Structure 1
Amino acid sequence: MSTKLAGVEGEVSKERLMQDLRVIVADAEELLRATAGQAGDKVASARERIQESLDVARERLASAEQAVVEKTRLAAKATDEYVHENPWKSIGIAAGAGLLIGMLISRSR
């Protein structure tokens, strides 16, 4: 069970990392737009390097998003297969989880 929990926490961390990367890319793009009128060799060189880094970051972000979508799809498929192969066990697990959640909610009131 702890391996599954670690996997879920890993997915959450990946999603947070992807969100953070999206924010960084957006901020860098905004910075590039804001400095578009700046002249000079150093500024032009820096803008080119930033643009190249942004292109690489966008590609990696797209790949990471595809990987997360694929893993989610596979997890959903595996869950669906398990439920179809073990309907009574699945019902028991769901009932137990519902009972546990109900007890926790009733205690918090």
Structure 2
Amino acid sequence: MTTSHLKNVKDDMKALVKDAQELFREAAEATGDKAEALRDKGLTLLEAAIVTAQTAQTVALEKGKQVAADTDDYVHANPWRAVAISAGVGLLVGLIIGRNK
């Protein structure tokens, strides 16, 4: 998921939550037909939020699968380089953890 797409999804979710909060405040004060209209609008907002979340999840899963496939290809093409990189990362993590104790 690109950074700009992730930011757009985050902004959309914030706007949906803000709209829903506003809607619930109005619904608490409303009665009759107005309450029914607000309830319908609230359901529409929630459905939009669900669709947005599902889209973000799908994109994240696709990107994750692509990264895993690319990593697998790289490791098969460069096994010793992958071992050296892993050892280096492990050494750095070990040094960082050792310093914090």
Q: Match for 2:42: what amino acid? A: I
TM-score, scaled to structure 2: 0.69
1:68 paired residue number: 60
2:79 paired residue number: 87
SS of aligned partner of 1:70: helix
Task: Tell me, yes or no, if structure 1 residue 47 matches structure 2 residue 39.
Answer: yes
Q: Match for 2:99: what amino acid? A: R
User: What are the within-5 Å matches in structure 2 for residues 1-109 of structure 1?
Assistant: 10=3, 17=10, 39-109=31-101
Structure 2: any 5+ residue segments left out of the alignment?
Answer: none
Instruction: Report how far residue 70 of structure 1 moved.
Output: 0.6
Structure 1: any 5+ residue segments left out of the alignment?
Answer: 1-6
Instruction: Report how far residue 39 of structure 1 moved.
Output: 4.8
- Partners of 1:106 and 1:57 in 2: how far apart? 44
Identity %: 33
Q: Match for 2:46: what amino acid? A: L
Tell me the alpha carbon deviations over residues 67-100 of structure 1, each in whole angstroms, 9 at most, x when there is no partner: 1111111111111111111111100100111111
- Partners of 1:50 and 1:77 in 2: how far apart? 41
- Partners of 1:96 and 1:79 in 2: how far apart? 17
TM-score, scaled to structure 1: 0.64
Please tell me the root mean square deviation across aligned C-alpha atoms, in Å.
2.6
